[in-house]
Amino acid sequence: MASASVSASPSVLLPTYARAPVAFERGEGPWAITADGTRYLDFGAGIAVNALGHAHPHLVKTLTEQAGKIWHTSNLYGAPDGERLARRLCEATFAERVFFTNSGAEANECAIKMARKYHAAKGHPERYHIITFEGAFHGRTLATIAAGGQQKYIDGFGPKVDGFDQVPFDDEKALRAAITPETAALMIEPIQGEGGLRTVPGRFLKLLRELCDEHGLLLIFDEIQTGVGRTGKFFAHEHYGVTPDIMSIAKGIGGGFPMGACLATEEAASGMTLGTHGTTFGGNPLAMAVGNAVLDVVLEPAFIDHVRQVALRLKQSLAELKDKHPQVIEEIRGEGLMLGLKLRTLNTEFVNEARAHGILVVGAGDNVVRLLPPLIISDADVAEAVKRLDAAASAVEAGLKRPAAE
């Protein structure tokens, strides 16, 4: 599927991304459309961001109405829409306090600072270490690359921010051994996104809660990718009945408008007193209006049921696809509409073939292809997606059969 929608002049953007040779001008529900009208089924949703698809009428109406009123006021003044969004998030979760940010990494920065400050305010400033898990991804700021612990993101950026101790995934012994009198918190994604759709076993999440209670640590869940209905619950930790003290969210809550938030219990947030943290843009009226509009839809009782039903259909179809293409697909992973194909062939090649067959999917670590469609997809969209993924898998398979010299 060729597209002539990418500029021919050399890019002056920082070349930190290997951009695909396609650009989108508009979108309709699960479809992303180029300037020449080529339509792609968007099963990446901007990496789990466009929870309600593209150009959702309620979001468009809300944003345009807000744009005609006021764009920005700063946190120096009252924020009625921010208060409302925060209250709604608290009512729907464990949380009692909310700090709004512009991105996921900033939500994690707030979570990290909050955990450290909690102990410092109680007279233990030496308790600033946070234990994280191999394969984690928490963002690209200096602290969050240290938290994620991936060398490829850390190298070349000076000394790694101190105070992050990493242990292997799902390794109780290593975790117990890593907890010291300097530990402040444990931080984990209930399902690793960038790390390759690795689901943390429920018993391990329960163990984390127990260890936090036993040692006076705070439990931080990074639900930036898993949150806001993505896994078939409002937040993924609800599948396991384990509640964090602090939770970072972003992506889906803005439905495409850049925003995030750090949610916490009153106790966990108790160190964050006047002047201890701030942001110019976080909680901006445009973002707050959109966040409230996203909740209007996602918190409708039938919405998450829909996610679960359509996700089940997608997962079943993907299992059939795996049986049909055993040379290409090794395993289906994930929960709800956060699904992954663990491949035997190169995931980047599959992503390109999928795009060539009119469907957008996203690569992840561990040679996984992520499917993160908008939560509003229908059964017909699932059928269409599977048809296109089937064609992509067949193309990859055909490549395997070609002689190497070709």
Ligand X SMILES: Cc1ncc(COP(=O)(O)O)c(C=O)c1O
Radius of gyration for the chain, computed over Cα atoms and rounded to the nearest angstrom: 21
Instruction: Supply 74's token pair.
Output: 């700063």
Q: Which residue, 82 or 104, is less far from ligand X as judged by CB?
A: 104
Q: By CB under 6 A, which span of 17-25, 220-228, 232-240, 322-330 interacts with ligand X?
A: 220-228
d(CA 47, CA 295): 19
Interaction of residue 231 with ligand X, rule CB under 6 A: no
Q: Which residue, 247 or 382, is less far from ligand X as judged by CB?
A: 247
Q: Which residue, 133 or 137, is less far from ligand X as judged by CB?
A: 137
User: Which among 383, 377, 382, 362 has a CA at the least distance from the CA of 17?
Assistant: 362
Q: Smallest distance, Å, CB 286 to ligand X?
A: 17
Interaction of residue 105 with ligand X, rule CB under 6 A: yes
Residue choice 66, 225, 345, 347 for contact with ligand X (CB under 6 A): 225
Residue choice 139, 190, 282, 363 for contact with ligand X (CB under 6 A): 139
Q: Which residue, 225 or 345, is less far from ligand X as judged by CB?
A: 225
Q: Smallest distance, Å, CB 108 to ligand X?
A: 6
d(CA 329, CA 311): 19
Q: Which residue, 48 or 328, is less far from ligand X as judged by CB?
A: 48
Q: By CB under 6 A, which span of 175-183, 189-197, 293-301, 379-387 interacts with ligand X?
A: 189-197
User: Which among 143, 119, 298 has a CA at the least distance from the CA of 222?
Assistant: 143
- Applying the rule CB under 6 A, the residues between 39 and 98 that interact with ligand X are 47
Q: Smallest distance, Å, CB 123 to ligand X?
A: 31
Q: Smallest distance, Å, CB 326 to ligand X?
A: 30
CB-closest chain residue to ligand X: 104
The distance from CA 368 to its chain's CA centroid, rounded to whole angstroms, is: 15
Interaction of residue 137 with ligand X, rule CB under 6 A: yes
Residue choice 250, 289, 295, 375 for contact with ligand X (CB under 6 A): 250
User: Which among 298, 255, 282 has a CA at the least distance from the CA of 93?
Assistant: 298
Interaction of residue 222 with ligand X, rule CB under 6 A: yes
Q: Smallest distance, Å, CB 191 to ligand X?
A: 9
Interaction of residue 120 with ligand X, rule CB under 6 A: no
Q: Smallest distance, Å, CB 290 to ligand X?
A: 15
Interaction of residue 142 with ligand X, rule CB under 6 A: no
Q: By CB under 6 A, which span of 209-217, 219-227, 368-376, 395-403 interacts with ligand X?
A: 219-227
Spatial neighbors of 193 by CB under 8 A, at least 6 apart, are 48, 137, 224, 225, 226, 338, 364, 370
Contact 22, 37 (CB under 8 A): no
Total residues in contact with ligand X, by rule CB under 6 A? 15
Q: Smallest distance, Å, CB 391 to ligand X?
A: 28
Residue choice 82, 104, 291, 374 for contact with ligand X (CB under 6 A): 104
Interaction of residue 194 with ligand X, rule CB under 6 A: yes
Residue choice 193, 232, 271, 282 for contact with ligand X (CB under 6 A): 193
Q: By CB under 6 A, which span of 85-93, 203-211, 218-226, 280-288 interacts with ligand X?
A: 218-226
Contact 365, 381 (CB under 8 A): no
The distance from CA 274 to its chain's CA centroid, rounded to whole angstroms, is: 30
Q: Smallest distance, Å, CB 20 to ligand X?
A: 17
Length of the chain in residues, anyone? 406
d(CA 358, CA 381): 12
Residues that bind ligand X (CB under 6 A): 47, 103-105, 108, 137-139, 189, 193-194, 222, 224-225, 250
